[in-house]
């Protein structure tokens, strides 16, 4: 994320490389979405930019969507413990206090992460900035009952929410 918020007018002047350099972080380790959305310029607002990014995501193949989901870390998982999260993921997980789990809470998150990944083949993704530890755990349990296709759709929807919040942090109209 840039140190200072970008203005939408400024973003509209970026060449594709600059656009991706400034906005490629919005979708976790998946800058090709920003590269494709660049073609939809000019953007009237941050909401318009978000719609363009999400249109690229919606048009993506099933394999591309799964790859994007898999780019996300487990919640309170090994990457978090090792300090290997992106800056955005670190802040987001901290916003729900996932960086301050008790040993029992950590064990619960580990068990649920493992069960979810075993069932679906990708990590559990939720917009943690809209949740608490308790609501995340409840969503884990609920979503473990879903079919894989429903979980792909749910994860993509959660990723769109994460992207909207990341954009709001980085861009102003």
Superfamily grouping for domain 6-66: Oxo-4-hydroxy-4-carboxy-5-ureidoimidazoline decarboxylase (1.10.3330.10)
Distances (CA, A) of 19 to 15, 33, 63, 137: 6, 11, 25, 36
- The residues that are catalytic are 72
Comparing 3-12, 80-89, 136-145, 152-161, the range with the smallest average pLDDT is 80-89
Which residues make Cβ contacts (< 8 Å) with residue 122, sequence separation at least 6?
A: 66, 69, 70, 155
Domain positions in the chain are: 6-66, 72-169
pLDDT at 55 over 80: yes
CATH superfamily, domain at 72-169: Oxo-4-hydroxy-4-carboxy-5-ureidoimidazoline decarboxylase (1.10.3330.10)
Write down the pLDDT at residue 84.
85
| pLDDT tens digit sequence for 92-101 | 999 999 999 9
For the whole model, what pTM was predicted? 0.94
**Fold equal for 6-66 and 72-169:** yes
């Amino acid at each position: 994320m840039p140190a200072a918020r970008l203005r939408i007018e400024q973003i509209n002047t970026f060449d594709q490389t600059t656009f991706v350099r400034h906005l490629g972080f919005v979708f976790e380790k998946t800058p090709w979405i920003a590269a494709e959305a660049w073609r939809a310029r000019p953007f009237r607002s941050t909401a318009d930019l978000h719609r363009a990014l999400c249109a690229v995501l919606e048009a993506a193949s099933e394999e591309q969507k799964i790859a994007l989901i898999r780019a996300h870390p487990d919640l309170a998982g090994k990457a978090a413990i090792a300090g290997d999260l992106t800056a955005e993921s670190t802040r987001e997980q901290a916003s729900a206090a996932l960086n301050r789990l008790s040993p029992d809470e950590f064990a619960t998150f580990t068990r649920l992460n493992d069960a979810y990944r075993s069932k679906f083949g990708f990590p559990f993704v939720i917009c943690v900035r809209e949740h608490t530890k308790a609501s995340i755990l409840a969503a884990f349990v609920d979503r473990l009952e879903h079919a894989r296709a429903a979980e792909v759709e749910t994860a993509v929807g959660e990723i769109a929410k994460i992207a909207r919040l990341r954009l709001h942090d980085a861009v102003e109209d």
